[in-house]
Amino acid sequence: MTTMTPAAPVTTTEAPTRNPVRWLVFTVVVVANMMDLMDATIVNVAGPSIRSAIGGSTSTLQWLSAGYTLAFAVFLVTGARLGDMFGRRRLFLLGSAGFTVMSAACAIAPSPAVLIGCRVLQGAFGALMIPQGMGMLKEVFAEDEMGKVFGAFGPVMALSGLAAPILAGVLVEANLWSIGWRLVFLINVPIGIAAFVGAIRVLPHTVARPGIRLDTVGMVLVGSALTALIYPLIQGHTDGWPTWTFVLLGLGVVLLGAFVLWQRHRGDNALIEPSLLSNRAFTSGIAVLLAFFGAFGGLVLCVSLFGQLGEGFSPVHAGLTLMSMILGLLVGMGVSFALVARLGRHLLHLGFLIVAAGIVVLALTVTGAHSASTWDLAPGLFLIGAGAGASMGQLFEFIIAGVSMDEVGSASGVLEAAQQLATAIGVAALGTIFFSAFAGHLPTHALAITTWACMAPVALAFLLVFRLPMKARETVG
């Protein structure tokens, strides 16, 4: 019985070690992530209104989304490294201030070119801000509280994703002060200011690590490679696919290979841990991400464009059309947590099969039809969302299961960047297919062609899952 006496002091001294403002830190970080999530998706609904107000070509609609996600992907891993070098709090403040200023700049942009440029800078500042948040949460919360943190974080972000398309439609149609679409960016300003002030007051003063160096050569190589790949995919259709588009695509492949070689020989200061690039499970996981998120992100944009440009839906109507997909996403995510331990990686296979079934249903719905209502599209979109939720909810954990514990931090950052990059590629590729089929044909024909095109990357993702670990990291051991 005497061995139980130390229990009392342990329980009484544990509580004072809790950071008293940790949930305020959580609130600031969540607000920042909500702004990023909503700005990455909100232009899918607002895009047609933006184009009708300030002009631009069909590629403008693609660049409004792809410019943001491309910049976010390129600077995301660099943003995490800069946080280590100069302190996470300092980089969070810089990123949130820049994000807010660029949101205001987007709101007053006089032309498509200026707006796209501001979107690129907005994505870059977002990439400085977002990686710092999770690191600071781990600093202020005890290990036994992280489950509560993630449990609260997930639903908030899911609800933000659910609200973004509807909010975009409401803001555009409300046309407050006769500024129309500009309100979707202007609304970030008071939210961003509140997040910045809150960050100054509650975020921890993290220690900088000046001994770390930034791999500027790697950053230039990967940025140039991705731009060379995505720019011709978006601009090629508008310009009639001249020779330079194919030359630029080839150059992008060469630069991407040069980046991989550079990272393998860079050592400790590489943007990506060199060992990750030789890890078959991890590189296969990156390929799964690129294939699946590319198809999903591109299809979301094309469904919104179909509704507004093809069927004449209002912005609110277009946002509500995506509701069935988002509801399916939430259902699929909930089911995935119950089945992951039992099914292992076959859960991902099941999810991709449900997505494929949804693609078939959606494609057959619009094939040969003269029009399609929101209710017509709902069954296929719900299945696509449910399958995506089942696979998205656990995909990162299966990929991370194939890396060592000391590589998890670097691997997580690369996976987030790959997800953003996949969205940019999907918007570029599927958007180009949609607009090519849209010209001179029924809108339903364009959506059918685009939907069928999604089947190829989804099938590739299904096959690549066989190269992933059988169990997710949280169920291993």
Q: What is the pLDDT of residues 168-222, one digit of tens each?
A: 888 888 777 778 888 888 888 998 999 899 899 888 877 666 667 778 888 889 8
Strand, helix or coil for residue 209: coil
Give the distance from CA 432 to its chain's centroid: 20
Length of the chain: 477
SS3 228: helix
Which range of 77-86, 113-122, 161-170, 416-425 scores highest in mean pLDDT? It is 113-122
pLDDT of residue 363: 95
Q: What is the pLDDT of residues 304-333, one digit of tens each?
A: 889 988 888 888 888 888 889 988 988 998
If you average pLDDT over residues 384-401, what whole number do you get? 86
Q: Is the pLDDT of residue 12 over 60?
A: no
279 has pLDDT over 80: yes
Q: What is the pLDDT of residue 25?
A: 87
Q: How many CB atoms lie within 10 A of CB 73?
A: 25
Flag whether pLDDT at 381 surpasses 90.
yes
> Is the model's pLDDT at 439 over the cut of 70?
yes
Q: What is the chain's alpha carbon radius of gyration, rounded to the nearest angstrom?
A: 22
Average pLDDT value for the chain: 84
3-class state of residue 267 by DSSP: coil
d(CA 452, CA 92): 41
Helices 216-239, 408-438: crossing angle, 10 deg rounding: 10
Instruction: Tell me which fold the domain 275-477 belongs to.
Output: Growth Hormone; Chain: A; (1.20.1250)
Residue 307 DSSP class: I
CATH of domain 19-214: 1.20.1250.20
Which single residue is written with the structure tokens 């910045």? 196
Task: Please tell me the predicted confidence (pLDDT) of residue 130.
Answer: 85
Q: Where are the domains positioned within the chain?
A: 19-214, 215-268, 275-477
Whether the pLDDT of residue 2 is over 50: the answer is no
Residue 150 has pLDDT above 90, yes or no: no
- In this prediction, residue 5 has a pLDDT band, given cuts at 50, 70 and 90, of very low
- Do residues 470 and 395 touch, judged by C-beta distance below 8 A? no
Residue 149 CB contacts under 8 Å (≥ 6 apart), including other chains: 26, 137, 141
φ/ψ of 42, rounded to 5, equals -70, -30
Query: Confidence band (pLDDT; 50, 70, 90) for 1?
Result: very low
Q: What pLDDT is recorded for position 475?
A: 45
User: Phi and psi at residue 111, in whole multiples of 5°?
Assistant: -150, 160
* pLDDT number for residue 158: 65
Can 19-214 and 275-477 be said to share one CATH topology? yes
Is 90 strand, coil or helix?
helix
pLDDT at 112 over 80: yes
pLDDT tens digits, one per residue of 412-433: 778 888 888 888 888 889 988 9
Our CA angle for 417, 418, 421, nearest 5°, is 90
Q: How sure is the predictor about 409, in pLDDT bands with cuts at 50, 70 and 90?
A: low
**Segment among 136-140, 293-297, 383-387 with least mean pLDDT:** 136-140
